[in-house]
Chains A and B, each alone.
Chain A
Amino acid sequence: MAAIVLRNVTKQFGGLLAVRNLTFEVPEGSIFGLLGPNGAGKTTTIRMIVNIIAPDSGEVLVLDHRVTRHFQRRIGYLPEERGLYNKRKIRDQLIFFGRLKGLTREEAGRRVDDWLDRFELSQYKKMTPGELSKGMRHKVQFIAAAIHDPDVLILDEPFSGLDPVSVSLLKGVILELKQRGRTIIFSTHQMEQVEQMCDEVCLINRGTKVLAGTLYEIKQRFKHKSLLLGYSGNDSFLGNESFSRVNKNPGHVEIVLDDLMDAQKVLLRALTSGAVIHHFQMVEPTLNDIFIEIVGEKNGKDKGDRSV
């Protein structure tokens, strides 16, 4: 069953077409990544899912319902930035957000304390967001979104501004929510998080879906491999026209191989040309590569239509 369904959703702001004929489904109990460059329409899409704005046409269903007031209790929403009262105590405002979602004061208080403990923020609960760092505020915001244990959690850029420790802490929390059957959808342009966490993704660009499916499917579709070579000395072997792309860094090189090109042959050529090889690795395309390939300006136009 799909937790979230978008069917032919279109939203226009004045002359700007923010989202165009967007269709996708988020399976229940999965982690879904909504990807796209800045200004692609990710936030607009999310705002339509949580019913902050209505689509001009098309349909948005969450857990088989149109999002109404009575239904909001089952959804949690983390807006992209800010989203906290700057001058009110953290614990107080988290309890407030919990009570707005229908929790009793006692229940909200208990859950807030648990969450603050988990994020190692207990000692700051009497402070105001203005006194905290950006990363801490972000964690507090996450608690505000998740406090009522919603069935569907919608997170707009959940990892932005977090240090690596906090990122892995938050990742753990999200994965645990998934294990408990919750559906999580988040938007991001940080591809590593998506690769490590998402079951499915949808990549949008300029308001249009350009790619969607499970990570496995997508990687299959962009199955051309690349080769990572660490070398020193002569680099004349790189001057081969049959390489479709070469990313050259001092001391090592990443070569995208087309179907005809065998990695062994590249190695052989490098050795015979006099380069000293100290690293040789076959790499699958990362989502980042796929993202850049589709969205990147050079080939954005001609490959932009490729979608499921």
Chain B
Amino acid sequence: MEKIKVIVAFEYISRVRKLSFLLATIITPVLMLLPIALSLVFTIFGSSKSRIMVLDQSDVPGLFESIKKKTEGTTKYTLSQVVVAPDQNIDQFRLRFNHEVENDSGKAYLVLRRGTLDGVSPEYYASGVSDLGLEALARNINLAIIDQKLAQAGLDPGKYLKPLTMKTIKVSSAGERPEGIANIAASFIIFLFTFFGMFGYGAQVMGGIVEEKYTRIIEVMVSSARPFEMMMGKLIGIGLVGLTQYLIWMIAAVPILFISRSVLATKGITLNSIPIGSSFCFVIYFVLGYFLSASLYAIGGALATDHESGNIVTRFMPILSMVPLFSAGAVIQNPNGSIALTLSAIPLFSAATMVLRMAISSPPLWQIILSMLMIVTAIGGVIWVAAKIYRLGILIYGKKPGLREIVRLVRYA
């Protein structure tokens, strides 16, 4: 016990004190959040203003002004009108604009043909037409046309035209709570941090063991401590480093969540808070998921030779651990569907998958408890095997062990 403590303290302190730990703690969230944050900011607030020329042959007085009024200020677009006389060939006219669009990707133009009011579609021309703001522009054109029609019919548009947005509300055992794209994004972020943390630090255990074999420190340690103490010291020490980082991220997430929530609220988007109970479960899942992957990786490290780390564990673990990430989309779509349930029942995938399910929905309590018990059982089994392999495997040098030798190690250790 005493030696485990010494190893834990050494592993923990020397890793946490390293500059790379500090950098990883700061840079990882930035790298992970930046693309999401940027796309959210661009969508919601618009990037730089982009100008759209409107070739207007509709001959409807006030239509352009109405579109302009609805669009400018709420989107990133500014509109300017080019009136095209009814007797001109507008397609001929377009050629000149096409030329400009070809030469300048920032340019775009909109065509309102004769009969726009009677169902002729407006046309948008640009070098890129996948702009997220276009939907709002199209809606504004429609609203402007309806405005005009109501006015022509002698009705007050202000009285009949009040566009509504639909609220989406998730029903679960925890009660009703508003759900939307922002909440899905937030859940996915929580999942990503947990997922990369548990498997990333698990892999570090292997790196640490391979280093000790390569540097022959293992020989000095074997003559000072029992292999089981060495393995547990490493597992716990590196696990605490991972947990420290995870908790730092969690605490840092509180103000970020709070600020995003109030900013998003001004745009009519609701972002849920994460219940304390769920956060607590995330930490437990993180620790369990880490221990399972780390003890598997410890086997990989113990089987590695001093000049080559490739073996059955190191080859398949990185691929297997990606399963929860690749199936995250399916789990988000249906957090209680068969894919989600299957993954929750497999210990190696269960921790990450359950975190995603808990972030996005409310899985039944029995599933949470059962999954935790299953992971704990799996950890017990893997550590039992790992300890046996570790005892002999750490001194394997030179020759790469095959599957048969691995089985032999477990049976006779």
Docked pose: A75 CA to B226 CA in angstroms? 15
Contacting pair B215 A77 (CB below 8 A) = no
| Interface assignment of B219: CB less than 8 Å from any CB of chain A | yes
Tell me which of A52, A84, A145 contacts B215 (CB under 8 A).
A84
Taken residue by residue from 65 to 80, chain A's Cβ proximity to chain B (1 for < 8 Å, 0 otherwise) reads as: 0000100100101011
Q: How far is the CB of B234 from chain A (nearest CB, A)?
A: 12
| Interface assignment of B177: CB less than 8 Å from any CB of chain A | no
| Interface assignment of A47: CB less than 8 Å from any CB of chain B | yes
Tell me which of B10, B14, B18, B395 contacts A53 (CB under 8 A).
B395
Docked pose: A179 CA to B226 CA in angstroms? 32
Contacting pair A101 B219 (CB below 8 A) = no
Docked pose: A96 CA to B233 CA in angstroms? 13
- Which residue of chain B is the closest to A46 with respect to CB atoms? B219
| Interface assignment of A97: CB less than 8 Å from any CB of chain B | yes
Docked pose: A298 CA to B217 CA in angstroms? 39
Contacting pair B223 A82 (CB below 8 A) = no
Contacting pair B223 A83 (CB below 8 A) = no
Main secondary structure of the interface of A (DSSP, over half): loop
Contacting pair A72 B220 (CB below 8 A) = no
Q: How far is the CB of B391 from chain A (nearest CB, A)?
A: 12
Tell me which of A50, A53, A81, A99 contacts B216 (CB under 8 A).
A81
Contacting pair A97 B220 (CB below 8 A) = yes
Q: How far is the CB of B400 from chain A (nearest CB, A)?
A: 14
Q: A residues within 8 A CB of B7?
A: 96, 100
Contacting pair B214 A82 (CB below 8 A) = yes
Contacting pair A83 B224 (CB below 8 A) = no
| Interface assignment of A51: CB less than 8 Å from any CB of chain B | yes
Interface residues on B, range: 20 to 34
Contacting pair A144 B14 (CB below 8 A) = no
| Interface assignment of A88: CB less than 8 Å from any CB of chain B | yes
Contacting pair A83 B219 (CB below 8 A) = yes
Q: How far is the CB of B398 from chain A (nearest CB, A)?
A: 9
Contacting pair B216 A79 (CB below 8 A) = yes
Contacting pair B217 A52 (CB below 8 A) = no
- Which residue of chain A is the closest to B219 with respect to CB atoms? A79
Q: B residues within 8 A CB of A69?
A: 225-226
Contacting pair A50 B6 (CB below 8 A) = no
Near B by CB (< 8 A), chain A positions 69-118 give 69, 72, 75, 77, 79-89, 92-93, 96-97, 99-102
Contacting pair B222 A52 (CB below 8 A) = yes
Q: How far is the CB of A233 from chain B (nearest CB, A)?
A: 55
Q: B residues within 8 A CB of A144?
A: 220
Q: B residues within 8 A CB of A88?
A: 14
Near B by CB (< 8 A), chain A positions 258-302 give none
Docked pose: A51 CA to B395 CA in angstroms? 12
Q: A residues within 8 A CB of B2?
A: 102
A69-B226, A99-B6 as given contacts; A83 in contact with B220, CB under 8 Å: yes
Contacting pair A82 B6 (CB below 8 A) = no
Taken residue by residue from 1 to 19, chain B's Cβ proximity to chain A (1 for < 8 Å, 0 otherwise) reads as: 0110011001001100010
Docked pose: A47 CA to B7 CA in angstroms? 23
| Interface assignment of B132: CB less than 8 Å from any CB of chain A | no
Contacting pair B217 A96 (CB below 8 A) = no
Taken residue by residue from 193 to 228, chain B's Cβ proximity to chain A (1 for < 8 Å, 0 otherwise) reads as: 000000000000000000100111101111111100
Tell me which of B10, B14, B219, B226 contacts A52 (CB under 8 A).
B219
Binding site for A on B (CB under 8 A): 2-3, 6-7, 10, 13-14, 18, 211, 214-217, 219-226, 395
- Known A85-B14, A93-B14, A144-B220; further 5 A-B contacts with Cβ < 8 A: A83-B220, A89-B14, A96-B10, A100-B224, A102-B2
Binding site for B on A (CB under 8 A): 47, 50-53, 69, 72, 75, 77, 79-89, 92-93, 96-97, 99-102, 144-145
